[in-house]
Amino acid sequence: QVQLVESGGGLVQAGDSLRLSCAASARTFSDYAMGWFRQAPGKEREFVAAISSTNGNTYYVDSVKGRFSISRDNAKKTVYLQMNSLKAEDTAIYYCAAVPGIRGRVYTEKNKYTNWGQGTPVTVSS
């Protein structure tokens, strides 16, 4: 079982940046593909970004392409989500997720992920 702990959320103004972190307890973190999802009030949880277990392949939802960047540091067992040019519509609780991954594959479906963090809130004021 992998435990995930997100941090870095907060209240910012439109146009600002934030970097979210997700620390994992997995012994072999490098075996896991990672993803970020978000859930706004009254809405379903949606995919934001994903990174493969190896090769560093990434994938983003269209609404964040060019503004958000996902990365990982396997030595620190941490995945990051750099969020730039934040908009009010980015306001949500952001969740980190993990799944034992096939080499090079990214996962966008939330039902593929087997482990979830508790979430960190991001509020963007306009």
Read off φ and ψ for residue 102, nearest 5 degrees.
-70, 140
Give residue-wise pLDDT tens across range 32-91.
999 999 999 999 999 999 999 988 899 999 999 999 999 999 999 999 999 999 999 999
Mean pLDDT for the chain overall? 96
Whole-number Å distance between alpha carbons of 5 and 77: 11
Q: How far apart are CA 86 and CA 20, in angstroms?
A: 13
Tokens for 90, please give them: 């980015």
- pLDDT confidence of residue 19: 98
Nearest residue to 28 (alpha-carbon basis) of 1, 51, 56: 1
